[in-house]
Amino acid sequence: MISAIALRARLSRGETTVEAAIRRSLDTIDERDRDIRAFVALDRDAARQRERARSGPLEGIAIGAKDIIDTADLPTEMGSPIYAGWRPKADAALVMLARKAGATILGKTATTAFAQGDPPATRNPHDHAHTPGGSSSGSAAAVAAGMVPLAFGTQTGGSVIRPASYCGVAAIKPSFRLLPTTGIKCYSISLDTAGLFAASVPDAAFALAALTGRDFSISSEMHRPRIGVTRQTFAGEVDPPCETVLARAIEALEQGGAKVLDLHDPPEFATAWRLHPIIGDGEALRSLSWEWETHRGLIPPKLTEALSVAEGIGPGEFDEARRAGKRARVAAHDFFKDVDAVITFSAPGPAPRGLQSTGDAKFNRLWTLLGVPCVNVPAGRDARALPVGVQVIAPFGRDDMALGVASRLETALQHVLA
């Protein structure tokens, strides 16, 4: 993988050039993407990219943008034939933040149709017989395969954290609306959250700081953190490798001086978790109303099923789901009051075999509904060498804490796994 921080350091020392950095990404894409299929569109003119590039903290950094994120110079097809060849007039706000910071938007990454459940052709770089996850399939795979240092994704259920876990990369789903979603195809206005993938947690923090102008620097002198553990029993069982890496994470944190304690999930969490699809799919029926009414025959099966079910959601049921979400957010204040952050599973298991599914978001969707920051930390591999991650979660607005604890865990795990 390509570390954005290390690449920027090499650029600053004059050991490489912006042109060479972009060319390296294009060469890696040419070498590997025929099999992985992470990208659906590329901007290959590196010289023109250099002419347009601004100086800034992300100068020389190539970024892949999920193909529901508008780009004025590349198609935005949303994983659907309905939008084949579609060229937006303007960049999404997130793309403009990246360009203003000096980054090069190198291409568009594969997504499930409208960021729901129907898989694209993308394969997991660690084993091409397995899914990379979704819906930000191409973004996770592109970073894992060393094609780009950074990639943008979105999460409505688990579409950033889960593919990051499956592909063995760091990722952050920030606090709700920390990154703008203007110019990103909407599925659920209450849940959609822009996020990013990177080679390591410090790389993710560096990128988030460059995009937002906030200080997410990670201190090596962090106080002894208090870390809660939740297994989200209401979400069901996990595969043994996930239990193994969570236990390893707890051990690594304790050895590093953290205080770790088990937490009990308030009942409001289970209710909100159960009702999450009513909010997400209920809002999607409105967001995708034009596509649903005028191009229904081109809507793929999983999305068709979700929208068909959503047609039966009445106003009372929808409003109760929204109220349940609010009660869960209130309960989250007490849940986090005695801890700095929480760790839990990033996914129910390693990446499933086959490309018929992108996996299950059951260990992610509650936190998306709560709007709190979540970070995936690569934490080990199963017997087949497939990556498994651990999820670090902090209170709303404490993205700095989520990144700090995640970085501490990442470093501690490197010592344990060495």
Active site residue 135: yes
Rounding to the nearest 10 degrees, give the CA dihedral for residues 157, 398, 326, 155: -10
Q: Are strands 387-393 and 170-173 parallel, antiparallel or unpaired?
A: unpaired
Whether residue 175 has a cis bond before it, omega within 30° of 0: no
Q: Which two tokens stand for residue 133?
A: 């996850």
Nearest to 36 by CA among 115, 94, 107, 116: 107
C-alpha dist (Å) from residue 109 to 122, 287, 310: 9, 22, 28
Q: Contact 68/185 with Cβ under 8 angstroms?
A: yes
Separation between Cα atoms, residue 163 and residue 135, nearest integer Å: 8
DSSP 106: E
Residue 77 has φ and ψ, to the nearest 5°, of -105, -5
Return the SS3 of 380.
Answer: strand
C-alpha dist (Å) from residue 127 to 111, 220, 351, 353, 354: 19, 35, 9, 9, 10
C-alpha dist (Å) from residue 95 to 13, 26, 86, 146: 27, 19, 17, 21
- 66, 108, 173, 185: the active-site residue: 66
- 25, 80, 135, 346: the active-site residue: 135
- 80, 159, 165, 175: the active-site residue: 159
Q: Put residue 45 in one of left, alpha, beta given phi > 0 → left and psi -120 to 50 → alpha.
A: beta
Separation between Cα atoms, residue 215 and residue 221, nearest integer Å: 16
Active site residue 139: no
- Please list the residues that pair with 301 across neighbouring strands: none
C-alpha dist (Å) from residue 156 to 219, 245, 291: 30, 25, 19
Separation between Cα atoms, residue 355 and residue 324, nearest integer Å: 34
Active site residue 66: yes
Q: Contact 112/66 with Cβ under 8 angstroms?
A: no
Give 88's contacts (C-beta < 8 A, 6+ positions apart): 70, 71, 72, 76, 183
CA 167 and chain centroid, separation: 11
Which residues participate in catalysis according to the annotation?
Answer: 66, 135, 159
